[in-house]
Chains A and B, each alone.
Chain A
Amino acid sequence: MIVYLLCFILFLTGLYGVITRRNLIKIAISMSIMEFSSFLFLALIGYVDGGVVPIVDPADPVKTYVDPLPQALVLTAIVIGLATTAMLMAVIIRIYRKYGTFDIRQIKNLKG
């Protein structure tokens, strides 16, 4: 039970970083921390008591395996997270060229 609570605390840490930090790169890193907490949560869900790694050994095929479906979900989600982070980094680099600063308080051209 306490393991799931730690996942949630990691998510709240990432959320705190996104909300309060001023530097754009720190906001991007905090979003990565939020992603990793949800991957950890998904991977922990599939645990079966007394299970082993879900790779079938042809000599001894009948055992209790850990649930492999959440591991496949995490693999897909990691690739999606990579794409999101790469997109965010590209936009941050272009913002630095145009605005000249990484500080998010200076970037308020659009209002209203």
Chain B
Amino acid sequence: MNSLIPFFVAVPLAGAFLTMILGRFTTRISKYLASVVLIITAFISFWSLFTTGETVSVYKVGGWEAVNSVPIGIYLVLDGFSALLLCVISCIGLMSVIYSISYMARYTSGNYFYALFCLMIAGMNGVVLSGDIFNIFVFLEISTISSYALVAFGVEKNELEATLKYQVLGGIASFLILFAIGFIYWKAKTLNIADIRSAFSEGHDARYYLLVQILLLSGFGLKAAMIPFHAWLPDAHSSAPSPISAMLSGVLIKAIGIYVIIRLFFNMFEISEGMAIVITTLGTLSMVVGVFLAIGQWDIKRLLAYHSISQMGYVVMSVGIGMLLIARGLRSEVAALAISGGIFHLLNHAAFKGLLFLNAGAIEYSIGTRDLREMGGLAKSMPVTSGTSFAASLAISGIPPFNGFFSKLIIIVAAVMGHFYFLAATAAIVSIITLASFMKFQRYAFYNKEQGELKADVKEVPVPMLVSMIILAVICLLLSVLAIPGVRETILTPATDILMDQMKYSSQITGM
């Protein structure tokens, strides 16, 4: 058994409580302790990414071996897809902690912030690594309760209202998921994902199956903020402090929303055509509605939050296209292309959306307002912020040589090759509208010279914030390397294989 796996959860958890104890004696040590914890987590996740490859490592907690090849313990599973997401979580987390060394100096009770942040990272790592459906629920709750507290961190009126809406809707989603777990246990009599697959493949009632799938899609769709479950996202992501917005929008809705939907619908349920059509439709609707609601916004962070909905729609649509092609039994290499395009876009979106939210935080730190109509001409006084923001805007609109271009190109090509011409045209039009929206953002914030003379004393932001923004901009350029066939084989293809091959996941786990 690979004994590195429980450290992904244990190290941030111990770090969180150690921060609370040590923060009572010296107030400055909590930020450095949190950075050290995240550096360790980033190191072991990158190491696992490059050593995992095609193998599926299983860790049985407590050493409970399988009895008569029926798994009875809690399993932690690390395969190609989980390793990618672990890298994303720890990388964006590390950038956010470095950023918040100087940003959170304006808030009191800093050691609570770092403790809750480490707890959120531990919860997300647990969701990504677990091979057991109730374990997903427990770690999901750990990370979302920490995020409720983090959204309301500086207790102003806007933040409290945003977190109230977030909590009520998130609570309803959790109860739907718990109900669905109850229904699954009733028929399958087991909680292990691989074992549920083999229990359900021996014959099941079609309407019961459909009920469970709809409950799970609604619950996790609410967590992932797909249309029509998106009502909490603009308020929560715009009122939170900026490093938390970057974490929420860049990592949380992916690790506990989109990742779980992809994992359950590919590896636990058999791929059916009806569900694939529903998922593709929800993805396309998210893409279109998100971008139309985003154009008219004048608050920077609400604009970025609505664009998150739209880009997540891209990912869900392309995964849905892959599912539909597999269900119909048609050309499987096009399905592999669609799924790998979706996963690539997931990685890219974490990088450039995180960078955009950190930029918005830098603007707010210097000027004190978030309204686009009140700012202008910042390109001269904040050169690094405007440069990295320009790079991120080009990346999200899909301009070469940034990473957004390659992932959107793969998605549109896969849609065209699968004869989904309407979806490909929609994706291209949405991309053009995204470009228009970000050109508006760039013009009003950075290049509007007439109003620029009023804000003459605007300085550049402190060094830790600059460091994290520059590193993320470089990552945006480097990620486009993943489209080259040699690099793609080692990183993206194991993830795609474990999802597409119908029996690989379950046979490798129940065989161990």
Instruction: Please list the residues of chain A having a beta carbon within 8 angstroms of any beta carbon in chain B.
Output: 11, 15, 18, 24, 27, 31, 34-35, 38, 41-42, 45, 69-70, 73, 76-77, 80, 83-84, 87-88, 91-92, 94-95, 98-99, 107-110, 112
In the complex with contacts A31-B168, A83-B141, A94-B155, A41-B182 CB distance below 8 A: yes
**A28 to B158 Cα, complex, angstroms:** 20
Q: Are A87 and B158 in contact (CB under 8 A)?
A: no
Q: Are A109 and B138 in contact (CB under 8 A)?
A: no
CB distance from B142 to the nearest CB of A (A): 9
In the complex with contacts A45-B185, A87-B148, A112-B302, A18-B168 CB distance below 8 A: yes
Residues of B close to A108: CB separation below 8 A: 161
With A38-B175, A91-B160, A95-B164 already in contact, 7 other A-B pairs whose C-beta atoms are closer than 8 Å: A76-B134, A83-B141, A88-B171, A91-B167, A94-B155, A94-B160, A112-B297
Instruction: Please list the residues of chain B having a beta carbon within 8 angstroms of any beta carbon in chain A.
Output: 134, 138, 141, 145, 148-149, 152, 155-158, 160-164, 167-168, 171-172, 174-175, 178-179, 181-182, 185-186, 191, 234-235, 238-239, 297, 299, 302
Q: Are B158 and A110 in contact (CB under 8 A)?
A: yes
**A32 to B178 Cα, complex, angstroms:** 14
CB distance from B145 to the nearest CB of A (A): 6
Q: Are A34 and B172 in contact (CB under 8 A)?
A: yes
Q: Pick the contact of B175 from A27, A34, A92, A109 — CB < 8 Å?
A: A34
Most B Cβ at <10 Å: residue of A69, A91, A92:
A91
CB distance from A101 to the nearest CB of B (A): 12
**A35 to B177 Cα, complex, angstroms:** 11
Q: Are A110 and B235 in contact (CB under 8 A)?
A: yes
In the complex with contacts A110-B239, A112-B297, A31-B171 CB distance below 8 A: yes
**A24 to B165 Cα, complex, angstroms:** 11
Q: Are A77 and B178 in contact (CB under 8 A)?
A: yes
In the complex with contacts A34-B172, A35-B175, A38-B182, A80-B138 CB distance below 8 A: yes
Closest to A28 in B: B168
**A11 to B182 Cα, complex, angstroms:** 14
**A8 to B152 Cα, complex, angstroms:** 33
CB distance from B161 to the nearest CB of A (A): 5
Residues of A close to B234: CB separation below 8 A: 112
**A56 to B382 Cα, complex, angstroms:** 71
**A73 to B450 Cα, complex, angstroms:** 62
CB distance from A100 to the nearest CB of B (A): 11
Q: Are B172 and A18 in contact (CB under 8 A)?
A: yes
CB distance from A10 to the nearest CB of B (A): 11
Residues of A close to B158: CB separation below 8 A: 109-110
